[in-house]
Structure 1
Amino acid sequence: MLKQHLQLKLSQKLSPQQIQLMKLIQLPTQAFEQRLKEELVENPALEAGKEESADHDDYADDDYDEYDDFDNERIDADEINIDEYLSDDETPDYKLQANNYSDDDEDRSLPFAAPVSFHQDLINQLNTFILSDSEREIAEFLVGSIDDMGYIRRDIQDIVDDMAFTQGIYTDEKNVERILNIIHELEPSGVGARDLQECLLLQLRHKTPTEAIELAIDILENQFDAFTKKHYDKLLQKYDITQEQLRKAIDEIEKLNPKPGGSFDTNSRTVEHVVPDFSIRLIDGELELSLNGRNAPELHVSKDYQEMLQTYKESREKSNSQKDAVQFIKQKLDSAKWFIDAIKQRNETLFVTMNAIMHYQEEYFLDGDETKLKPMILKDIADMVGLDISTVSRVANSKYVETPYGTKLIKEFFSEAMKNDQGEDVSTIEIKKILQNVIEDEDKSKPLPDDKLADILKEKGYPIARRTIAKYREQLDIPVARMRKKI
Structure 2
Amino acid sequence: MQKLSLSQSLQQKLSPQQIQFIKLLQIPTAELDTRIEEELEINPALEEGMDEEYEQKEEDDPYDEVDEYKDRDDDLDIDSYIKDEDYTGYKMQGDGNYAEEEREMPLATSSSLTDALLQQFGYLNLTEQQRIVGLQLIGSIEADGYIRRSLQAIVNDLAFGQNVFTSTEEVEAILHKIQSFDPPGIGARTLQECLILQLRRKDPADPYNVLAIRIIEDFFDEFSKKHYDKIQRRLNISDDSLKKVIDIIIKLNPKPGSVEDEAGAAQYLVPDFILTNNNGKLELTLNSKNAPELRISRSFADMLDTYDKSKKQNKSLKETVTFVKQKLDAAKWFIDAIKQRQQTLLKTMNAIVRFQYDFFLTGDESRLKPMILKDIATLIDMDVSTVSRVANSKAVQTEFGIYPLKYFFSEGISTDTGEDVSSREVKNILKDLIDAEPKLHPLSDDKLEKILNDRGYNIARRTVAKYREQLNIPVARLRKQL
Interval containing the TM-score (normalised by the shorter chain): 0.7 to 0.9
| 2:273–2:397 CA contact under 8 A, matched in 1 | yes
For the Cα contact (< 8 Å) 1:116–1:268, is it kept in 2?
A: no
Task: Give the structure 1 partner of residue 24 of structure 2.
Answer: 24
Aligned to 1:223: 219
Corresponding letter in the other structure for 1:308:
M
In structure 2, how many angstroms separate the alpha carbons of the residues matched to 1:22 and 1:160? 47
Secondary structure, counterpart of 2:202 in structure 1:
coil
**Secondary structure of the corresponding residue to residue 280 of structure 1:** strand
Q: Which moved more, 1:300-309 or 1:161-170?
A: 161-170
Which residue of the partner structure matches residue 263 of structure 1? 259
Pair 1:147–1:25, CA change in 2 (3 A): closer
Name the counterpart of 1:213. 209
Q: Does 1:291 align with 2:286?
A: yes
Q: TM-score, normalized by length of structure 1? A: 0.79
Task: Find the aligned partners of 2:339 and 2:160 in 1 and give their Cα distance.
Answer: 60
The residue number in structure 1 matching 2:334 is 339
Which whole-Å CA distance do the structure 2 matches of 1:205 and 1:349 have between them?
59
Q: After the TM superposition, which of the residue ranges 120-129 and 475-484 deviates more from structure 2?
A: 120-129
Cα distance change, pair 66–283 in 1 and its aligned pair in 2 (3 A): closer
Q: CA deviation at 1:173?
A: 3.7
Q: For 1:60, which of 43, 58, 61 is the aligned residue?
A: 58
What's the CA shift for 1:338?
A: 4.2
State how many pairs are aligned: 436
Cross-structure match for 2:238: 242
Query: Equivalent residue for 2:300?
Result: 305
* Alpha-carbon distance, 1:448 to partner: 0.9
Q: Secondary structure at the match of 1:114?
A: coil
How far has the Cα of 1:334 moved from its partner? Answer: 4.4
Which residue number corresponds to residue 90 of structure 1?
none
Would you identify which runs of 4 or more consecutive aligned residues in structure 1 move more than 4 Å? Answer: 10-16, 64-67, 109-112, 282-286, 309-313, 317-332
CA-based RMSD: 3.3
User: Could you say which residue in structure 1 is the equivalent of 2:93?
Assistant: none
- Preserved CA contact (<8 Å) 1:56 1:300: no
How is 1:25-40 mapped onto 2 (pairs within 5 angstroms)? 25-40=25-40
Question: Equivalent residue of 1:379, what SS?
Answer: helix
Q: Deviations over 1:264-321 (max 9, x none)?
A: 133356x5544332223455555442212111110112121333356568x6x75556
> What letter corresponds to residue 421 of structure 1 in structure 2?
D
Do the aligned partners of 1:59 and 1:301 also contact (CA within 8 Å) in 2?
no
Q: CA deviation at 1:15?
A: 5.3
Is residue 2:405 matched to residue 1:410?
yes
- Which secondary structure state, in structure 2, belongs to the residue aligned with residue 336 of structure 1? helix
For 1:198, what is the secondary structure of its paired residue? Answer: helix
Q: C-alpha distance in 2, partners of 1:190/1:481?
A: 29
Where 1:57 maps in the other structure, the secondary structure is helix
TM-score normalized by structure 2? Answer: 0.80
Does 2:425 align with 1:430?
A: yes
After superposition, give the CA deviation of every residue in 1:371-419 in whole Å (9 maximum; x if it has no partner).
3321112232233334343332222122222334443321231112221
Listed one character per residue, the Cα deviations across residues 23-58 of structure 1 (whole Å, up to 9, x for unaligned) are: 43233224433442343334332211244xx51324
Unaligned runs of 5+ in 1: 1-9, 68-75, 78-108
Contact 2:348 2:387 in 1 (8 A): yes
Structure 1 residue 124, shift from structure 2 partner: 0.8
Displacement of 1:353: 1.4
Pair 1:283–1:185, CA change in 2 (3 A): farther
> Is 1:392 the counterpart of 2:387 in the alignment?
yes
Cα 1:39–1:219 change in 2 (3 A) is same
Q: Secondary structure at the match of 2:175?
A: helix
Query: Partner letter of residue 127 of structure 1?
Result: G
> What amino acid sits opposite 2:41 in the alignment?
V
CA distance 1:416–1:261, shift in 2 (3 Å): same
Sort the Cα spacing of 1:339 and 1:170 in 2 relative to 1 into closer, same or farther, 3 A: closer
Whether contact under 8 Å (1:279, 1:402) holds in the other structure is yes
C-alpha distance 168-309 of structure 1, shift in aligned 2 (>3 A): closer
Q: Is the 1:281–1:404 Cα contact (8 Å) retained in structure 2?
A: yes
Distance 2:198 2:342 in 1: 53
Q: Any residues of structure 2 matched to 1:62-77 within 5 Å, and which? A: 62-64=60-62
Whether contact under 8 Å (1:64, 1:309) holds in the other structure is: no
Match of 2:128 in 1: 133
SS in 1 for 2:274: strand
In the alignment, what sits opposite 2:441? 446
Corresponding residue for residue 80 of structure 2: none
Q: Does the CA-based 8 Å contact 1:56-1:301 persist in structure 2?
A: no
CA contact (8 A) 2:43 2:327 kept: yes
Deviations 1:425-471 (A, max 9, x none): 11111111211111111111111111111000001110211111111
Distance 1:211 1:136 in 2: 38
Provide the secondary structure at the position in 2 that maps to 1:408.
Answer: strand
| 1:204 is the counterpart of 2:211 | no
Matched-pair identity in %: 52
Distance 2:304 2:134 in 1: 70
CA shift in 2, pair 1:288/1:230, >3 Å = same
> Which residue in the other structure is 1:251 paired with?
247
Q: What is aligned with 1:152?
A: 147
Alpha-carbon distance between aligned partners in 2 of 1:250 and 1:304, rounded to the nearest angstrom: 74
